[in-house]
Structure formats: C-alpha cells, structure tokens
Amino acid sequence: MYDCIIIGKGPAGISTSIYISRSNLKCLVIGKDETALRKAKSIENYYGFEEPISGEELFRRGINQAKKQNIEVKNDEVLDIEYKNDSYIVKTVNNEYETKTVVLATGKSRKTSNILGEDKFVGKGISYCAICDGYFFKNKNIAVIGSGEYALHEAEVLENVSDKVTIFTNGGKLPENRSIEVTNVIEGKIDAIRGDKRVENILLENKRSIPVDGIFIAQGIASSIDFAKKLGIIVQNNNIIVNDKMETNVPGIYAAGDCTGGLLQISKAIYEGAKCGLSIAKNLKNI
C-alpha cells in the first residue's frame, strides 16, 4: 500500500513527490510523456536559468531529479481510480495499485472531439463519463468515440449495461497490444453527430449513418476532469476546485498544477506541488 500515488510527472507531480518523500512517506508517480511542458520550445521566465531552457529538457531533468532521490516514477497511463475499503485503487494499463491518498497532477484537459454536432448534444445523448451516465443507456445502442486504452476502458464499463457497444475510432487505430478486448469497432472517419432533440445517429465520412442512442467521448487519455467526475469532485469551468491545502472536496484526493486553473505556469505548478506534498505529509502523520 502506498501513502500517496501522484498522477502526472510534470512540474506539479514531481514537485509534490519530492516534498512527500522527504517526509518519509511511500509515494509513486505515474505519468505519461505527453505534457504541456514538453510543448514549450524555450522557457525564459523560470527562476535560475541564465540561458533559455527547452520544456523537453526541464521535463527530463525533473524526472531524473526525483529518481535520484529514490522516488518511484513509472511511465504508465491511469485509466481509473476507485474507492474501496478505506483506500483508493489506481488502475493503469499495466497494473493496479492501492494507496491512502491520490494527487491529480494531470495538467490541463482538452476533452473535445471537434466533431460537428458535439456541442449541440452535450447532455442530450453525449456524455464524457461511462461510470456516471452509462446506466441511462441500459440495453441501448452506445457509441464510444476514441482509439486509446481509455476508450477501451470506457467501452468495457458500458458493456455491463448494454451488449450493443461500438467503438468509433474516427480514423484512429486501437493499440496493438491492448489490455482490453472489444467486439464492435468502426474505424471510419466521422463527419457529424446528428439528431433532432437528442443524438440519433453518427454520420461517417463514407456517408454511412449508424443509429445510436448515446455517445461517450473518450479521446486520448483520461484527464483529471474525467477522474473528478467519477469520484464526485467539484469542478468549475474545467478546473478542479481545491482549498488552500490542495485538498479537493473528496477526502484523500488532492490536486495541483494546471488542472486547478489560474496561472498556467511552471512556477505555480511547482508551488502547488510543494503545498500539496506538505499538506499530505501533515494529514497522514497527524501533525
């Protein structure tokens, strides 16, 4: 059992881990290499660098710094977080881990498909959370739009409520060595989501129209907002709401960095990581 699992190995996640591990607590950082930081070509406003540094290099150095301090950092994708018997189970593509606390440090989420019709039908047949809304589509025709492990995971959840679940990859390819198998897959590109008052069908580029009752958007990897919706964490304007100890409204779940909104800068992510790590140490050690 870990004291803390941090999701995200960007500035917020790594900073949190450094403060937690210095308090002699057992923590694990799980993250992927896709991060806002690696998109920054040249950083000139961060303290301590006379010459500009690339986001790629800063990202690499942050992870190495944590590893040098014997912090466990794994390259993996988190698919789900569940509350069970007074602890949390963090499910990844490769494993499951048990922990007392979780930190969401997954950066800013951009969770739209840009498919024509998506905006019109949000809440009218379009959802972003299988575990929250799947039940509304019991025994109905359900589409999952996405082509990664997260889409497979959402389809697996929905297969508990209907045996008519189809993954639409929208031109993408499902992972070759996938952890979850699904039966119905349509790989064609999507032209539009259509309907009158509610979603009625998906129109493919080849002009084939497929009737659907519900659509779950699960593009890319699960974001902090996806996890928040499943766990009942308060979200406002796509930002996780935290108090001054970086606690969310759900006991044991914290958040730091871009996913809490405000200034989207490295310095703020590092600051929130430090606050978060110290506050977890304080809470777990009752000091």
The binding site for ligand FAD (CB under 6 A) comprises 7-13, 30-32, 34-37, 39-40, 43, 45-46, 55, 77-78, 105-107, 221-223, 257-258, 264-267, 269
Write the single-letter amino acid at 131. Answer: I
> Least distance to ligand FAD from the beta carbon of 144, Å?
16
Nearer to ligand FAD, 11 or 117 (CB): 11
Nearer to ligand FAD, 14 or 115 (CB): 14
H or E element that contains 96? strand 96-104
* CA terminus-to-terminus distance, the chain: 21
Nearer to ligand FAD, 103 or 142 (CB): 103
Yes or no: say if 91 and 98 are a contact pair by the CB < 8 Å rule: no
Write the single-letter amino acid at 157. Answer: V
> Least distance to ligand FAD from the beta carbon of 5, Å?
10
């949190």: which residue's tokens? 16
> Least distance to ligand FAD from the beta carbon of 225, Å?
10
Percentage helix, strand, coil, to 5, in the chain?
30, 30, 45
Yes or no: say if 197 and 124 are a contact pair by the CB < 8 Å rule: yes
Nearer to ligand FAD, 46 or 83 (CB): 46
User: How many of the other CB atoms lie within 10 Å of CB of 138?
Assistant: 12
Nearer to ligand FAD, 234 or 263 (CB): 263
Q: Compute, in degrees rounded to 10, the torsion defined by CA atoms 79, 85, 87, 89.
A: -20
Nearer to ligand FAD, 7 or 143 (CB): 7
- Report the alpha-carbon distance of residue 276 to residue 45 in Å, rounded: 23
- Report the alpha-carbon distance of residue 149 to residue 177 in Å, rounded: 10
Ranges of beta strands (E only) in 47-95 are 72-75, 78-84, 87-92
